[in-house]
């Protein structure tokens, strides 16, 4: 059994809450005042399925990447929130503070793709410039293998080589024009919208999807908490949509 304040302290030492974006709501989502935990469910999102999994696995704490609440609420009526409270399950989230942390989500995405020793731009972006050109088709093939996906959405796909690459886990399309200005050739992110895509100029964008670009966040939580006296369970999550 582990002290919950120690669990939260470990996460916030890794990803301090004062580094989150102003619009974010990292931290406690449901705090019922429980002081100890036996079993924690680690997840990207809090949904009715993850709450049911927590109940089935006798977890008393859920640690998620995406917060449950982003704006003030006037009524608690979502079934998964009600179920969590009824079953005495607390929920804590580490979001943008975990994205930008050292060895955090953005950096982990880059390393998962095979790139290390990166620089940082615009808080969230991890990027690398090379002294030689690299083969773009090889990159696409590698990404399909790493993320186990048969097709990848690409904007400006006719590129043959690249000499710089940038990463932003989750949704990073707001940085496209900034990255073009500093000469980035390829940008790997998720959640690219139609108008963002058609207004792209020279940069090639690889849209892995929000889920694919962040699903490994549970591995980061596990690494942070692996020495604690508590059982850690990774949620059985999948994307919200399927290719058929």
pLDDT (average), residues 28-53: 97
CA separation for the pair 118, 166 (Å, rounded): 9
Any residues with CB less than 8 A from the CB of 95 and at least 6 apart, and which?
Answer: 20, 24, 25, 26, 65, 66, 67
Say yes or no to pLDDT of 20 above 90. Answer: yes
Span 208-222, pLDDT tens digits: 999 999 999 999 999
Residue 140: how many other CB atoms lie within 10 Å: 16
- Enumerate residues 6+ apart whose C-beta is below 8 A from 135: 160, 161
Q: What percent of the chain is helix, strand and coil (3-state, nearest 5)?
A: 35, 25, 40
Secondary structure letter of residue 156 according to DSSP = S
pLDDT at position 65 is 98
Asked if pLDDT for residue 1 goes beyond 80, the answer is no
Q: Are 230 and 42 in contact (CB under 8 A)?
A: no
Cα–Cα dist 169/186, whole Å: 14
Q: Residue 99, class by beta-carbon neighbours within 10 Å (0-12 exposed, 13-18 middle, 19+ buried)? A: buried
- Residues 50, 62: Cα–Cα separation, whole Å: 9
Domains and CATH numbers, the chain: 2-94 (3.40.1390.30), 105-214 (3.40.1390.30)
pLDDT at 7 over 80: yes
The two tokens of residue 161 are: 């080589």
Tokens of 101: 């942390």
d(CA 134, CA 128): 12
| pLDDT tens-digit series, residues 67-109 | 999 988 899 999 999 999 999 999 999 999 999 999 999 999 9
Residue 156 C-alpha from the chain's centroid: 25
Question: What is the per-residue pLDDT for 201?
Answer: 84
């Amino acid at each position: 059994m582990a002290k919950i304040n120690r669990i939260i302290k470990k996460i916030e030492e890794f990803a301090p809450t004062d580094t989150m974006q102003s619009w974010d709501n990292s931290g406690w989502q449901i705090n019922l005042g429980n002081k100890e935990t036996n079993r924690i469910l680690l997840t990207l999102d809090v949904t009715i399925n993850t709450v049911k999994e927590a109940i089935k696995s006798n977890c008393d704490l859920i640690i998620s990447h995406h917060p449950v609440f982003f704006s003030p609420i006037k009524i608690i009526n979502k079934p998964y929130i009600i179920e969590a409270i009824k079953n005495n399950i607390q929920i804590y989230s580490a979001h943008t503070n975990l994205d930008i942390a050292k060895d955090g989500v953005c950096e982990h995405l880059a390393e998962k793709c095979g790139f290390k020793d990166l620089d940082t731009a615009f808080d969230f972006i991890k990027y690398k410039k090379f002294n030689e050109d690299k083969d773009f088709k090889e990159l696409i093939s590698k990404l399909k293998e790493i993320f186990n996906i048969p097709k990848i959405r690409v904007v400006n796909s006719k590129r043959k080589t690249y000499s710089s690459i940038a990463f932003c886990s989750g949704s990073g399309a707001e940085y496209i024009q900034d990255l073009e200005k500093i000469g980035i050739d390829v940008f790997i992110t998720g959640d690219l919208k139609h108008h963002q895509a058609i207004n792209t100029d020279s940069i090639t964008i690889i849209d892995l999807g929000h889920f694919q670009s962040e699903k490994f966040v549970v591995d980061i939580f596990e690494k942070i908490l692996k020495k604690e006296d508590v059982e850690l369970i990774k949620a059985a999550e999948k994307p919200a949509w399927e290719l058929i």
